[in-house]
């Protein structure tokens, strides 16, 4: 062992080299980039590049469009996240119910949207939301609801994207919840039942506390995913109507890759990252006490 | 009482499953009716006037066969490379001894909170310097190794009995030999899981190929589909055929290997 280099390094070297080169270096470079005025002229010739300190961040924080993108994204995360987790939990409870037959069939049905291609699905929902020929308005018309211009109305566009996103993703967290439910020892329910607890109290005092660690994991992952909202508005609304579905990542994409304001776009990415870290830390801090098994 | 609860439960299950599958069913049905037929889908389905004309148009007029091949080739390439690279590293982090191993691994796991978009701008500039913008290599490169993949393999590899590896070493087998003939077969289930995750992830990815690929002959299906929407937004049925073409391969793959996929989610979600 001493004489030659440890062969273990040969095993980890390809992966570490790739991760260092294509993740660490770019992330660090991105931080540097955010302190420069890298734009279309710098793309052409690097000597046009200047160090500008915190100017990009100052511009960003004074820019109403950024605040609007941030508000939209926070709405998506804060409203969509809990709804999505709740939908996942409800689906998990349904497919995991003791009386349920054909469990694998229902589980697969609920899961199917997860594996589908987001862009294709966003195209499909764009038509489902069509004010005149869309299926959703046609179904609602059956209940006497007047046609709604889902993606064209500033009030409805974000909720419409949110609904689609929940439909697309709830199956993923459902699987994690089902695993969490199955890990709860049966004897806890038996004990609760002996103590005279009905289904609701069993759910409240056994299931929910035991699921807390799973729920925390799911909530954090859902939040991280939510902050990265991009393809849905890109395909369905292009950020409209009047920027009501513009997300932070979509704004970064437009600034960086459409207008080549790369220094500015890097600053957007880092502000998003900072918010994401703060959000994760906050959720870990708010962790309900008395978690179940690890 | 029991019957009533069972009825209620199954009613809820069927209703939820119907709502979940409805958009997908609508997509398939709308892709099969004549142009303009999706606005009154039921009438068209009832009259039985179904057609494959839109799929025909995709493959002849719009040359989507090439796009389909691009997507399949890229997803297969990324999957092959990254499963191998991650398997090597994941096994080493679980079973081989080297200085700073556990600290390095914890450091890697901590980077899971870094969103992929963070390094995207400099990575693009780097690829531009290397002349890899608008090439397949540029699409493949960020997927060569993944912290998530290493993590997944390591968790699984921890359960390989040390005695098995030691016995092989005493027999004089080299580390690479041990890896290929003992470790890889044992890791098979988790590698299948990782392969499905990677294949689906690459197939479905949108932002990065959208950034890197500028020539529409190189487009992947999601990029081509988003692009097609610009010109053909009125051709609902044609767009739905394109959506089916994009979604169907991954749905079939998932259906075939579902067990591995579900297990992978649970493994990555519950073990710490």
Q: What is the ipTM of this complex?
A: 0.90
Task: Say what the pTM is.
Answer: 0.91
B161 pLDDT band, cuts 50/70/90, is very high
- pLDDT digit string, tens, across residues A134-147: 899 999 998 989 99
- Percent of chain A exceeding pLDDT 90 equals 72
Q: How many CB atoms lie within 10 A of CB A152?
A: 15
Residues of chain B positioned with their CB less than 8 A from the CB of A251: none
Mean pLDDT in residue range A55-60: 95
A27, A172, A235: residue with CB nearest B118: A27
Question: Which residues of chain A lie closer than 8 angstroms to B13, CB-CB?
Answer: 94-95, 100, 106
- A125-184 residues touching B, CB cutoff 8 A: 125-128, 132-133, 135, 167, 171-172, 175-176, 179-180, 183
Q: Do B20 and A175 touch (CB under 8 A)?
A: no
Average pLDDT over every residue of B16-32: 94
In angstroms, the Cα distances linking A6 to A12, A211, B96, B190 are: 11, 43, 9, 26
Contacts of B84 (CB under 8 A, 6+ apart): none
Preferred mutation among B18, B67, B120, B241 to probe A, highest tally of A CBs within 10 A: B120
Percent of chain B at pLDDT exceeding 70: 99
pLDDT at residue A177, rounded to an integer: 93
| 3-class state of residue A83 by DSSP | helix
> A44 touching B, CB under 8 A?
no
- Option in A19, A179, A273 nearest B118 (CB): A273
Partnered with residue B220 across adjacent β-strands are none
- Measured distance CA(B252)–CA(A68) in Å, rounded: 40
Residue A205: is it exposed, middle or buried by C-beta count within 10 angstroms (0-12/13-18/19+)? middle
Strand partners, A36: A51
Domains of chain B: 53-270 (1.10.3720.10)
Residue B272 predicted with pLDDT over 60: no
For residue A36, the SS3 value is strand
Distance of alpha carbon B59 from alpha carbon B75, whole angstroms: 20
pLDDT confidence tier of residue A290, bands split at 50, 70 and 90: very low
pLDDT of residue A4: 63
pLDDT tier, A287 (very low <50, low <70, confident <90, very high otherwise): low
Tell me the torsion sign for CA atoms A58, A59, A62, A67. Answer: negative
- Taking CA atoms, A256 is separated from A222, A262, B125, B183, in Å, by 26, 5, 11, 44
Q: To probe the interface with B, which of A97, A124, A211, A261 has the most B CB atoms within 10 Å? A: A124
pLDDT of B48: 80
Report DSSP state, residue A52: -
Q: What is the pLDDT of residues A187-212, one digit of tens each?
A: 999 999 899 888 889 999 999 999 99
Q: How far apart are CA A239 and CA A156, in angstroms?
A: 13
User: Is residue B210 within 8 Å of residue B44, measured between CB atoms?
Assistant: no
Annotate B245-271 with DSSP letters as a single string.
HHHHHHHHHHHHTHHHHHHHHHHHHH-
From A39-48, A285-294, B56-65, the region with the lowest mean pLDDT: A285-294
Sequence-distant (≥ 6) Cβ neighbours of residue B236 within 8 angstroms: A127, A133, B30, B36, B38, B39
User: What CATH class is the domain A57-285?
Assistant: mainly alpha
Using the Cβ of B261 and the Cβ atoms of chain A, whether some distance falls under 8 Å is answered with yes
pLDDT of residue A292: 40
- The Cβ of residue A293 has, within 10 Å, a number of other Cβ atoms equal to 10
Phi-psi region of A217 (alpha: psi -120 to 50; beta: other; left: phi over 0): alpha
Which segments of chain B does DSSP mark as H helices, in order?
2-30, 41-47, 53-60, 64-95, 101-110, 120-129, 136-140, 147-157, 162-170, 175-178, 184-204, 207-212, 221-232, 236-256, 258-270
Residue A85, burial from CB neighbour count under 10 angstroms (0-12, 13-18, 19+): buried
Q: Please tell me the total number of residues recorded for chain A in this structure.
A: 294
Within 13 Å and on the Cβ side, how many CA atoms surround A4? 7
pLDDT of residue B269: 61
pLDDT of residue B158: 92
């Amino acid at each position: 062992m001493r004489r030659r280099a440890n062969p273990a390094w040969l095993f980890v070297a390809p992966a570490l080299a790739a991760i260092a080169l294509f993740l660490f270096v770019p992330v660090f470079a991105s931080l540097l980039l955010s302190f420069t005025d890298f734009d279309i002229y710098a793309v052409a010739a690097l000597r046009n590049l200047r160090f500008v300190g915190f100017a990009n961040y100052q511009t960003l924080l004074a820019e109403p469009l950024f605040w609007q993108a941030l508000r939209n994204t926070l709405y998506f995360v804060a409203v969509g996240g809990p709804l999505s987790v709740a939908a996942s939990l409800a689906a998990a409870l349904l497919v995991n119910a003791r009386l349920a037959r054909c469990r694998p069939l229902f589980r697969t049905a609920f899961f199917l949207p997860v594996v589908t291609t987001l862009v294709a699905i966003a195209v499909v929902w764009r038509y489902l939301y069509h004010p005149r020929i869309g299926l959703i308005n046609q179904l609602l018309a059956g209940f006497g609801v007047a046609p709604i211009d889902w993606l064209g109305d500033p009030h409805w566009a974000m909720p419409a994207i949110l609904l689609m996103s929940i439909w697309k993703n709830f199956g993923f967290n459902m699987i994690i919840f089902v695993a969490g439910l199955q890990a709860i020892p049966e004897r806890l329910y038996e004990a609760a039942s002996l103590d005279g607890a009905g289904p609701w109290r069993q759910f409240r005092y056994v299931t929910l506390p035991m699921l807390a660690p799973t729920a925390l994991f799911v909530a954090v992952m859902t939040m991280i995913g939510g902050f990265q909202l991009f393809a849905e508005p890109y395909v369905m609304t292009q950020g409209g109507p009047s920027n009501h579905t513009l997300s932070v990542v979509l704004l970064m994409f437009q600034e960086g890759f459409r207008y080549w304001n790369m220094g500015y776009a890097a600053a957007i990415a880092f502000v998003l990252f900072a918010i994401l870290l703060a959000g994760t830390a906050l959720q870990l801090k708010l962790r309900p006490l008395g978690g179940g098994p690890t | 009482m029991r019957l009533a609860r069972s009825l209620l439960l199954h009613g809820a299950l069927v209703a939820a499953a119907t709502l979940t599958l409805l958009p997908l069913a609508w997509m398939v049905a709308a892709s099969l009716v004549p142009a303009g037929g999706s606005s009154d889908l039921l009438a068209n389905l009832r009259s039985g006037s179904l057609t494959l004309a839109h799929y025909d148009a995709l493959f002849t007029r719009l040359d989507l066969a090439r796009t389909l091949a691009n997507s399949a080739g890229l997803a297969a390439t990324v999957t092959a490379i990254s499963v191998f690279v991650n398997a090597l590293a994941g096994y080493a982090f679980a079973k081989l001894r080297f200085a700073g191993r556990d600290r390095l691994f914890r450091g890697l796991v901590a980077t899971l909170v870094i969103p992929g978009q963070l390094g995207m701008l400099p990575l693009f500039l780097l690829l531009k310097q290397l002349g890899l913008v608008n090439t397949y290599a540029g699409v493949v490169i960020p997927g060569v190794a993944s912290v998530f993949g290493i993590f997944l393999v390591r968790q699984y590899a921890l359960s390989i009995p040390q005695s098995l590896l030691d016995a092989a070493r005493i027999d004089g087998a080299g580390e690479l030999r041990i890896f290929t003939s003992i470790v890889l077969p044992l890791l098979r289930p988790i590698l299948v899981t990782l392969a499905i995750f990677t294949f689906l992830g690459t197939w479905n990815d949108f932002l990065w190929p959208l950034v890197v690929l500028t020539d529409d002959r190189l487009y992947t299906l999601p990029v081509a589909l988003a692009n097609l929407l610009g010109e053909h937004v009125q051709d609902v049925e044609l767009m739905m055929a394109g959506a089916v073409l994009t979604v169907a391969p991954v749905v079939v793959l998932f259906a075939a290997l579902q067990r591995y996929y579900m297990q992978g989610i649970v493994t990555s979600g519950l073990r710490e």
